[in-house]
Amino acid sequence: MAILFRNGNVIIGNGRVVEKGMVVVDGKLVKFVGPSKKYPPLKKDTVFDVSGKTVLPGLIDAHIHICVDGSPDPITSLLKDSIPQITLKAADHARRTLEAGVTTVRDMGGKDYIDLAIRDGIESGILQGPRMLCSGKLVCMTGGHGWQFGREANGVDEVRAAVREQLRAGADLIKLMATGGIMTKGVEPGSTQFTLEELIAGVEEARKAGRRTATHAQGTEGIKNALWAGINSIEHGFFLDDEAIGLLLDMKAFVVPTLCAPYHIIKAGVRRGVPAYAVEKSRKVMKSHWESVKKARKAGVPIAMGTDAGTPFNRHGENLKEMELLVKVGFTPMEAVIAATKTASEALGLGDKIGTLEKGKLADVVIIHEDPLENIGVLQHKEKIMAIMKEGRFYKCEL
């Protein structure tokens, strides 16, 4: 028995829209996408008339931290909370994320492999949440950005060992820290941390195991080092110059801007409990960050939607604010949708399975009462999301 969504405006995820379209789901897979009149339903099919509604692929957040709680000072919370407390919070974060219409996430650094346990719990059906790709512990230099919950390593041999530990634990990808960042006191976002040689070693170990790599890279030199090392995606990319953009294009690497992270820090400020150092650093980088994203978009660099959810006031389940910010920085609404679907799936290495509504792909489907191409902000209103499906299973259905 197939499930048919008919007469909706279908956003494929690749820039195309099928008006009065049909999406047919059979089991876990999409069976048909096209005009409704070309697929007459059978008696045994379940048919939903979604006239006036928009059907789009399940959305993808390419950069979250499921263990980090979005409180004013989340790193302090992470260090203070017990493992059971963090695990319970992470499970709740996963549920909230799925309820927002985000059916796939990439976790970019967890605490003591809780992220892997949440991933496995979702896959087994114990927990509700999005499909997860997890990096395990982020790999950083001693005292480097994220050291409080990362795996510190110094020199080529230690980096190799640290990456191998994440692979042994079951990480889906490897995250390396090329520069300083905002949420670690005493380090600067523009400062270089891992050396080129250390980054090459980390990327090589991941590649040998068939894993993709990503790097926290905000400063220009660190971005270039990571690209020369063969990294697959640059996270944040605050200070992109022309050479870095050229390297991104040459290496076919992705940028995941996470505009939400500094935006929420600045908006909340010290008055709401965000550490003063984080607010000050965010203010320093904001203009360059937005200009870098504009330049990368203009140059044709593939840009994937990612939020850094878990950072101050950047809450899980509110991920789709990032799409609004992408539009504010110059994306069209369709480009923002593509960033959160097709491009994000490619950044995760899952472009053949998810990211667009096409025959043979996994049936991740979101149906919303209005048209996000007319108002991208509608995606942030959960009450307007009428249905959420992941791999052919409804997690919400109010059709």
In the chain, at which residue ranges do the beta strands (DSSP E only) sit?
Answer: 3-11, 17-26, 29-35, 46-49, 54-57, 59-64, 102-107, 131-134, 139-140, 151-152, 173-177, 212-217, 233-236, 254-256, 365-368, 385-390, 393-397
What pLDDT does 176 receive? 98
Q: What is each CA distance from 151 to 81, 232, 316, 370, in whole angstroms?
A: 19, 20, 24, 44
Q: Which residue has the tokens 């979250």?
A: 64
CB atoms within 10 A of CB 31: 17
**Contacts with 107 (C-beta within 8 Å, 6 or more apart), sequence order:** 64, 65, 66, 115, 119, 132, 133, 134, 135
Dist. CA 325–CA 322, nearest whole Å? 5
What pLDDT does 40 receive? 87
DSSP bridge pairs for 132: 105
Token pair belonging to 212: 């993709």
Domain with CATH 3.20.20.140 in the chain: 59-347
Q: What is each CA distance from 351 to 345, 362, 365, in whole angstroms?
A: 5, 11, 15
**Contacts with 316 (C-beta within 8 Å, 6 or more apart), sequence order:** 64, 66, 70, 92, 93, 94, 96, 97, 309, 310
Token pair belonging to 184: 């670690």
Local confidence pLDDT in tens for the 399 residues of the chain: 899 999 999 999 999 999 999 999 999 999 999 999 899 888 899 999 999 999 999 999 999 999 999 999 999 999 999 999 999 999 999 999 999 999 999 999 999 999 999 999 999 999 999 999 999 999 999 999 999 999 999 999 999 999 999 999 999 999 999 999 999 999 999 899 999 999 999 999 999 999 999 999 999 999 999 999 999 999 999 999 999 999 999 999 999 999 999 999 999 999 999 999 999 999 999 999 999 999 999 999 999 999 999 999 999 999 999 999 999 999 999 999 999 999 999 999 999 999 999 999 999 999 999 999 999 999 999 999 999 999 999 999 999
Dist. CA 211–CA 177, nearest whole Å? 16
What pLDDT does 44 receive? 92
Helix 242-251 with 276-299: angle, nearest 10 deg: 60
Please check whether residue 42 is in contact with residue 6, taking contact to mean a CB–CB distance below 8 angstroms: no
CATH for 3-58+355-397, among 1.20.1560.10, 3.40.50.150, 3.40.190.10, 2.30.40.10?
A: 2.30.40.10
Dist. CA 65–CA 308, nearest whole Å? 7
Query: Considering the domain 59-347 in this protein, what is its CATH number?
Result: 3.20.20.140
What pLDDT does 41 receive? 87
Domain with CATH 2.30.40.10 in the chain: 3-58+355-397
Beta strands 233-236; 212-217: pairing state = parallel
Please check whether residue 106 is in contact with residue 61, taking contact to mean a CB–CB distance below 8 angstroms: yes
Please check whether residue 160 is in contact with residue 126, taking contact to mean a CB–CB distance below 8 angstroms: no
CB atoms within 10 A of CB 350: 18
CB atoms within 10 A of CB 393: 12
Which amino acid, 260?
C
DSSP bridge pairs for 362: 29
Which amino acid, 212?
R
What pLDDT does 265 receive? 98
Which amino acid, 324?
E
Token pair belonging to 356: 């667009």
Dist. CA 123–CA 327, nearest whole Å? 33
